Amino acid sequence: DAGVTQSPTHLIKTRGQQVTLRCSPKSGHDTVSWYQQALGQGPQFIFQYYEEEERQRGNFPDRFSGHQFPNYSSELNVNALLLGDSALYLCASQGGVGNQPQHFGDGTRLSIL
Amino acid sequence: DAKTTQPTSMDCAEGRAANLPCNHSTISGNEYVYWYRQIHSQGPQYIIHGLKNNETNEMASLIITEDRKSSTLILPHATLRDTAVYYCIVRVAGGGGFKTIFGAGTRLFVKA
């Protein structure tokens, strides 16, 4: 039973470029959340998708957008990359939006030059 | 801002119990307490969660005070592999989705 998988594992971009990160949820899970984790800090909530709609959003600019597909997989898009966007991007999935715990992938390490 | 406060770091001797405290004094009646840990370069790993009763699983025990304003995660026999950052989170379930707000967590060092 595969857990949450994210791709790619590492990515290097330059300022001003755009990036797309991908997430496949754990089998049976239909809710996906994205987080940004800067070095030495806890994960910061970006947004959550359920039934292909953005249900909740954290304090991130519109440069951060997402999508959820009918198979529950999800993409995180970041436009006009800034140096400060360098971070580990984590995807978490769970079944529904109730009290079941989220399960995390190992993230995509994004470096901006 | 995170709704929980945790000590920045703690030490524990290998084989002893590690008791990690968490304060969540503003917790609402329908918010659950979740614990995760994160080992360097990996994603957070779910440990345990609860509402008001104490909980135990194969990894740990969760003790929630009667007023629910604080909790303690107990690793009964800590090993070197338990060295990690431990996050305590409170979260409400609901049809409109939820936000999970992480604090800085507690860095646990298990020493031989």
| Residue-wise pLDDT tens digits, A37-77 | 999 899 999 999 999 999 989 999 999 999 999 999 999 99
What is the pLDDT confidence band of residue A105, given thresholds at 50, 70 and 90?
A: very high
CA distance to partner chain B, nearest, from residue A106 (Å): 4
Cα dist from B67 to A13, B29, B52, B80, whole Å? 49, 10, 9, 33
Query: How far from chain centre, in Å, is Cα A76?
Result: 5
Q: Residue A93: beta bridge partners? A: A32, A103
Total number of residues shown for chain B = 112
Per-residue model confidence as pLDDT tens digits over B26-74: 888 888 999 999 998 799 999 999 999 899 999 999 999 999 999 999 9
- Put simply, the answer to whether A90 touches B44 (Cβ < 8 Å) is yes
Taking contacts as CB-CB distances below 8 angstroms, the residues of chain B near A55 are 96-97
Region A8-17 average pLDDT? 97
- Put simply, the answer to whether B46 touches A101 (Cβ < 8 Å) is yes
User: B50 near B56, Cβ under 8 Å?
Assistant: no
Nearest to B6 by CA among A11, A74, A6, A42: A42
Structure tokens at B45: 């790993």
Taking contacts as CB-CB distances below 8 angstroms, the residues of chain B near A97 are 93-98
- Put simply, the answer to whether B105 touches A42 (Cβ < 8 Å) is yes
Residue B93 has pLDDT above 80, yes or no: no
Predicted local distance difference test score (pLDDT) of residue B63 = 97
